[in-house]
Structure 1
Amino acid sequence: MKRRNFLKSGVKGSIASGLLLSSNSISAKDKKSKDNIINDGSRDNWKQLSDGKRGKPERFKEVNYKVVVVGGGLAGICAAVASAREGVETLLVQDRSVLGGNASSEIRVLVNGVNHLKPDWIPERETGIIEEILLHNRFNNPQESFSVWDHVLYDFVIREPHLELLLNTQAVNVEMTGSSIKKAICWQNSTETEYHISAQQFVDCSGDGLLAASAGAEYRTGREAGSEFNEKYAPEEADGWQMGASLLIAGKDMGKPTAYSPPSFAIPFDLKKSNPRRKVRSFNEGYWWVEVGSKHDIIAEQDEIQHKLMGYVHGVWDYIKNSGDFEGTENYALEWIGSVPGRRESRRFMGDHILSERDLVDHQHFDDAVAYGGWSLDEHNPGGIENLDEPPSYFHYHFKKVYQIPFRSLYSRNIDNLLFSGRNISQTHIALSSTRVMATCALMGQATGTAAALCVQHKKNPRGIYQKHMVELQEKLMLNDAFIPDHPAMDKDDLAKEVKQWSASSTQSGDVNLLNDGWSRDFKGVLHHWSTDQIPASVQMEWEKPVALSSIVLKCDTNVQMNIMMRNNYNNRKIFTDTVPPELLKDLNLEARINGKWVTIGTITDNKTRRIKFNFDTIKTTSLRVNINETYGSSIAKLFEVRAYEKSVIS
């Protein structure tokens, strides 16, 4: 069987082609849950010097949750947080000591998304949970330390009610009941503890997808033939090539001449012998094109790839420092060198829809759209740095507008209770070349986490959510500030839709009546906001008859045409910033007219999110007023949406 073909294992069978696992997935009928498959500790014979006792420690745990998310990259974080915010007991399992995946301090890949669109190269930045994370970092890590970033992510996760975290833990196998995962079998290497984790729904956001593969979820590796999905940029014949992993570095100006001698394992590099598109633009950031891929089993080859990358990255730095071709390198030294390669591609699991190049470039409209992307078709060359004749990436196609990602590509078509988010979703190799960037993956994560919670609440599998509760899923996502292109919000529970009259103290642009038009940003050149001409300012809404309210949700401005992730340089200040967005509202309050008098029912003095929520004891009123008192620097303020609910908004 060619590696690009479907790879499938039955519940009791091993994974086809022998990829990664040597043990079979476990049938509930074949194994008792306490038959440890990793280490049962039977030969342990510890002597505790404190009390002289001998014996073996108990390091086996059975735990139960409603939703288990495997993989603590940005997709997994957003999935776990989204699930927990729906009030569902959720566990996030991460195989490293830090969260963030490719974005963590171990790897340091930029959190790219829809960074720039033709013709003006302006972003259409992601909102929702991923924006909350990036704003949380802006407030708590202004020095842009990657080590602090790790702790920002840790804080973002562990502060969430209904969410628990297991670090240093890998899901290595599963226990199945029919075509459903019953338990994830996990090993925590830091405590030598085996976990058997039961759940109703599982979300695999781990990239390589060992949990999903162990369950027998169908997947592909390699490149499809162009004829299979009518893809212009795919090869004529299918092959096993997968984009490679990269190893990054960081240089620092030491203020004095600093010598560099390469280590023994450095691999010589000469930029003059390379394709001219391979550039050295600065000395303080790494080079993504220091990359090694595979046309075979990229997972099994991980150690070999890592060794090569460590050699290549030193060879590149040796050339920069010692070739004499670059002015200004004398004072630069390596401040940080990665040891964990950041992988771009391995398994892609098959869902009810396989996202393809044509879906992206033709901007296919999906009734079940839940996320979007717009990074270029950025397919790296076969061979990476070992293929210097070709450019490091082809950048086949640059988008003028964003494309949609359907929910049917985010769940397994043959495992009933399995979803996935990130680079392992149901898509072709060419589609992956765009969707793999982390802010896009994070949007998928918010969608699958929310969907997993709905599965629990409605006692459905993911396909059942698609068939019966798709609109509910989309409305929840948009309520929680995810943006779905060409899908305006139509929440039937939003009482702002019944407002008889909107009025504002001042208007510079837009229209106050746009605050309930269903759009949470200006889009495709059409305004969907109300902007003040000064601060303080207020907006007021009037109902024809009293309404019962206990929750108000606002969407303010954070300038989604500006990227806010950390970077190693900010040469392009037009679309990248290293500050908190000055447009963000900081101080505001909410008033209601009750029995003919204006009463303050909510005050926020240090707001740090685009989506602002007021929950309060139920009131009856005919009028509300939002008073805007201060931003983080802008002299005007914008609102895009005001929603009103009888019940408190919990998520």
Structure 2
Amino acid sequence: MKRRDFFVKGALGVVATSLLPVVANATPSSIDITLSDRSKDKWLQVGSGKQGIPNREQIVNADVLVIGAGMAGISAAVAAARNGAKTILVQDRPVLGGNASSEMRVTVNGAPQERETGIIEEILIENWVYNKQESYPVWDHVLYNYITRQPNLELMLNTQALEAIMDGDKIKAAICWQSTSETRFTLNAKQFIDCSGDGLLAATAGAEYRTGREGKKEFGESYAPDQADGWTMGDCIMMITKDMGRPMPFKAPDYALPFDHETAFKDKHRRIKQVKEGFWWIEVASEYDIIADREQNRHKLMAYFYGVWDYIKNSGDFPEAENIALDWVGSIPGRRESRRFMSDYILTQNDILNDPHFEDAIGFGGWSLDEHNPGGIENLKEPASYFHQKSEKVYEVPYGILYSKNIENLSFAGRNASLTHIALSSTRIISTCALMGQAVGTGAAICLQKGINPRELRSKYMNELQEQLLRDDVFIPNRPAKDSNDLAKSAMAIMASSTLSGDTKLLVDGVSRDRGEEIHHWEADGLDAELQLEWKKPVKISKVELKGDTNVLRRIMMHKNPQKNIQNEQILDVPPELIKTASVEARVKGQWLEVAKIEENITRLMKTSFDQVSTTAIRIKLKETWGAKNAKLFEIRCYS
């Protein structure tokens, strides 16, 4: 492989490289934005009998604009909207979910050591309410329902962000084209978040980025290649099969490429262990510009895939495939890597394996370093995956990798964050990307409130961002909550009707999950359990918030192959430990008054809001779970 390391600054300049042609290929210096010119449009509207020019141009204003509605973009948009920002979420496909959508069907994996909570968990649990049949097309609509009901959030599907309009080092607007309505949108905003993966908006804004693999010496990464090069991890397509109960012949399409199984199977990772779902190692990468090669690689992926399937069906080596037929094959490749935008910090292999503490931590990752063969299926002589270097525990993800170092009001989340190629091999996992999204969405809302940009937020207001994330049920390792506005921390006593394990005092210790042998919960002996908080002097309260139990050590995602759920002893429903029904009472002038009810709850974070009362005691009645015998909580908060 030739050394083609390049570092691109925006659309016009290249730093530390003589490869000038890459600029034209990676980021056009100018974009034709006259897509809405309809001056020659001869429209006769027969209902009115008049001829006119269609109105195909709109200007829309928002506080926050999020580009890309994969799980990172969804989390960013929901977080920004919930924290008071008028938000627009732009997606270039007709469905939500990105790689996790029905178009690509990548499993929503996360850290194997312990599960992510917050917005990503809300969505995964909600899927088990509406989609017990584990249908990916229905999953698309679960996401659509989740997004469209959020206050302050507007969704634009089938819309491509083409170009950033700049005011110095700030983005003023994004020029977008909505293919279904033939409309050019100018979307004005104050904060911009690019979660699109490839990051076209960020690139046209001039945000510094890099592609390819760093050499060992640049960051001291032992798993990096000796010399930097231009390779990225490859795209792949997935498939799902169906047992038809009768022999199903298969004829390969004309463009299929023969599969060299003898060479391929010398690597254990390429051996075919099942015929139910797609093979991740059918991937095609690029040595120079994977974005420009997208359509070429898509065709090659389909050709290679059908070659593999032809071998499975017609070689005679897989008799178990006799009755198996293809039920779905992806037409859009799932992408692992392209642009990585530079921030004030670049996360590296050593940050993942050595697990340093970051004062600006906003979440965690835990997937192994998973470096794929850069040639993919076109390089069968090397292993499909070079290594899986696992961490014993989860590692911290810092906010300092999630905003642009040179564009003031631009953030990003997902695989386009400020990472080395080797670090990306771990952080690219979908639930880790979703935590990044929730952090930048929350951060954008705080930036608006304070009239600042992300860099200043990191230097002056990280405590506020972390406290809000913790309140919204994001877990940050080594960072307990210490919200001074939480009145529960000042309670004179917290009493329980019974205690089976843990202690009521742990409900205000700032840690909202058990960590190994460390207990941070209170569990009642049975249901109809009660908690009571007492204050020496009356306090004014209008919000009580609880964090329940969803068993973060159990998997919760949907799989393409339902048998995997059984193997992992996964419950295909709302977690039975979760509180379903509860109520909140306040003691006012010696009388207990019910101020809030929790019914049919499906979220770990249970927020109640009511007219403010002056009280010396709050009582929570935990009446029903989704199946567990005992009620368990990890946190209680009270606010005026």
CA contact (8 A) 1:11 1:179 kept: no
Aligned residue number for residue 428 of structure 1: 420
- The 10-residue stretch of structure 1 (318-327 or 298-307) with the greater mean CA deviation from structure 2: 318-327
1:74 equivalenced with 2:71 (yes/no): yes
Per-residue Cα deviation, 1:429-486 (whole angstroms, up to 9, x for no partner): 0000000011100000000000011111100011111111110000000100011111
Partner of 1:622: 616
Report if the CA contact (8 A) 1:11-1:215 is conserved: no
Counterpart in the other structure of 1:102: 99
Residue 598 (structure 1) aligned with residue 592 (structure 2) = yes
Identify the match of residue 639 of structure 1 among 621, 629, 633: 633
Residue 251 of structure 1 corresponds to which residue in structure 2?
241
1:363-394 deviation per Cα after TM superposition (whole angstroms, max 9, x unaligned): 01100001210001011112111112222212
Residue 292 of structure 1 corresponds to 284
SS in 2 for 1:394: strand
Query: Using the alignment, how far apart are the partners of 1:38 and 1:488 within structure 2?
Result: 51
CA distance in 2, matches of 1:415, 1:380: 32
Matched-pair contact (CA < 8 Å) for 2:193–2:440: yes
Q: How far has the Cα of 1:75 moved from its partner? A: 0.3
3-state DSSP class of the match of 1:185?
A: strand
Query: Is 2:164 the counterpart of 1:174?
Result: yes
| Selected match of 2:336 from 340, 344, 365 | 344
What code does the residue aligned with 2:339 have?
A: R
SS at match of 1:6: strand
**SS of equivalent residue, structure 1 residue 236:** coil
Q: Is the contact between residue 570 and residue 577 of structure 1 (CA under 8 Å) also seen in structure 2?
A: no
> Residue 260 of structure 1 aligns with which residue?
250
Does the CA contact (< 8 Å) of 1:254 and 1:331 recur in 2?
yes
Structure 1: distance between partners of 2:522 and 2:606: 16
Q: Could you tell me how far 1:209 is from its partner in structure 2?
A: 0.2
Corresponding residue to 1:412 among 404, 412, 415? 404
Matches within 5 A, 1:188-587: 188-274=178-264, 275-567=267-559, 568-571=561-564, 573-574=567-568, 576-587=570-581
Deviation at 1:16, TM superposition (A): 5.4
Match of 1:155 among 134, 145, 156: 145
In structure 1, the residue matched to 2:45 is 48
Contact 2:231 2:286 in 1 (8 A): yes
Q: CA deviation at 1:545?
A: 1.3
Q: Deviations over 1:1-42 (max 9, x none)?
A: 9753320136899995223443437xxxxxxxxx95334122
Change (3 A) 1:437 1:603: same
SS, match of residue 7 in structure 1:
strand
Deviation at 1:627, TM superposition (A): 1.1
Change (3 A) 1:585 1:395: farther
Q: State the identity %.
A: 54
After superposition, the Cα gap between the structure-2 partners of 1:390 and 1:558, relative to the gap in structure 1 and judged at 3 Å, is same
Single out whichever of 497-506 and 387-396 deviates more from structure 2.
387-396
> Could you list the per-position Cα deviations for residues 286-311 of structure 1 after superposition, in whole angstroms to 9, with x for gaps in the alignment?
11111101111100101110001111
Gap change, CA 1:476 and 1:365, over 3 Å in 2: same
- Secondary structure at 1:481 match in 2: coil
Residue 28 (structure 2) aligned to one of 17, 22, 43: 22
Measured in 2, the distance between the counterparts of 1:175 and 1:150 equals 32
Q: CA 1:512–1:15 in 2, change beyond 3 Å: closer, same or farther? A: farther
Runs of 4+ in 1 over 6 A off after TM superposition: 10-15
> Matched residue of 1:561: which SS?
coil
**Residue equivalent to 1:8:** 9
**Pair 1:145-2:139 in alignment:** no
1:608 aligns with 2:602: yes
Matches of 2:139 and 2:53, distance apart in 1: 39
- Are the structure 2 counterparts of residues 553 and 3 from structure 1 closer, same or farther at C-alpha, using a change threshold of 3 Å? farther
| Partner-residue secondary structure (3-state), 1:19 | helix
Q: In structure 2, what is the Cα distance between the partners aligned to 1:237 and 1:12? A: 23
User: Against the structure 1 CA distance between its residues 282 and 81, is the aligned structure 2 distance closer, same or farther, given a 3 Å change threshold?
Assistant: same
Q: Quick check: 545-554 or 591-600, which moved more?
A: 591-600
CA distance in 2, matches of 1:477, 1:573: 33
Instruction: Report how many residues are paired.
Output: 630
Is this contact kept in 1: 2:4–2:228, CA < 8 A?
Answer: no
Note closer, same or farther for the CA distance 1:588–1:308 as it changes in structure 2 (3 Å cut).
same
How far did residue 362 of structure 1 move?
Answer: 0.6
What is the aligned partner in structure 1 of residue 17 from structure 2?
A: none
The answer to which of 632-641 and 438-447 deviates more is 632-641
Give the Cα–Cα distance (whole angstroms) in 2 for the partners of residues 137 and 15 of structure 1: 46
Contact 1:15–1:216 (CA under 8 A) maintained in structure 2 = no
Deviations 1:475-509 (A, max 9, x none): 00010001111100010100011011111111111
Contact 1:233 1:396 in 2 (8 A): no
Cα-Cα RMSD: 1.7
Contact 1:3/1:220, CA 8 A, preserved across alignment: no
State whether structure 2 residue 193 is matched by structure 1 residue 187: no
Give the stretch that moved more between structures: 524-533 or 407-416: 524-533
Residues 293-345 of structure 1: CA deviation (Å, up to 9, x unaligned): 11111001011100011111111111222222123211111010110000100
Distance in 1 (CA, whole Å) between partners of 2:219 and 2:145 is 43
Q: Secondary structure at the match of 2:141?
A: helix
| Whole-angstrom CA distance in 2 between matches of 1:455 and 1:3 | 38
TM-score by length of 2: 0.96
Mapped contact 1:376–1:397 kept (Cα < 8 A): yes
- Residue in 2 that maps onto 1:649: none
CA contact (8 A) 2:13 2:23 kept: no
Q: Secondary structure at the match of 2:285?
A: strand
Query: Equivalent residue of 1:566, what SS?
Result: coil
Measured in 2, the distance between the counterparts of 1:103 and 1:610 equals 22
**Deviations 1:528-568 (Å, cap 9, x if unpaired)?**
00111211211211111111100011000000001111012
Structure 1 residues not aligned, in runs of 5+ = 26-34, 117-122, 647-651
Cα displacement string for residues 154-180 of structure 1 (whole angstroms, at most 9, x for unaligned residues):
111110010001110111111110000
**For 1:80 and 1:47, how far apart are their aligned partners in 2?**
40
**What is the alpha-carbon distance in structure 2 between the residues aligned to residue 363 and residue 168 of structure 1?**
40
* In 2, Cα distance between equivalents of 1:208 and 1:440: 17
Q: Which amino acid aligns with 2:69?
A: G
- With normalisation by structure 1, the TM-score equals 0.94
- How many Å apart are 1:526 and its aligned residue? 0.6
